[in-house]
Amino acid sequence: MVQALAPRTPTLIYAGAGLLSLMVFYLLVLDQGLLLSLVQGNTAYQANFIHELLHDARHAAGFPCH
């Protein structure tokens, strides 16, 4: 009797959810302009748009940023 292989869909879903979680964590906690610097150049470090957008969420989550 040939046994069918288990579908890999749950593994891919978990891997995708984990990757998405890491990306959101990076944006919330660590980004200081690096992500947008790929598009905006050095202006992104001075404007710090993502940092300012998520500033209160950082403090509410317990991550100090200044």
Q: pLDDT, tens digit, for every residue of 37-56?
A: 888 888 888 888 887 888 88
Q: Please report whether residue 65 resides in a domain.
A: yes
Domain span including residue 38 = 26-66
Unique residue bearing structure tokens 């710090």: 48
Evaluate whether residue 18 is within a structural domain: no
Kindly report the pTM of this predicted structure: 0.60
Average pLDDT, the chain: 81
- SS3 of the chain: helix, strand, coil, percent, to 5: 70, 0, 30
Asked if residue 63 is part of any domain, the answer here is yes
Number of domains in the chain: 1
Residue 35: inside a domain: yes
User: Comparing 6-10, 15-19, 46-50, 56-60, which segment has the lowest mean pLDDT?
Assistant: 6-10
| Residue from 19, 22, 20, 54 nearest 36 by CA | 54
Q: Residue 41 falls within a domain, yes or no?
A: yes
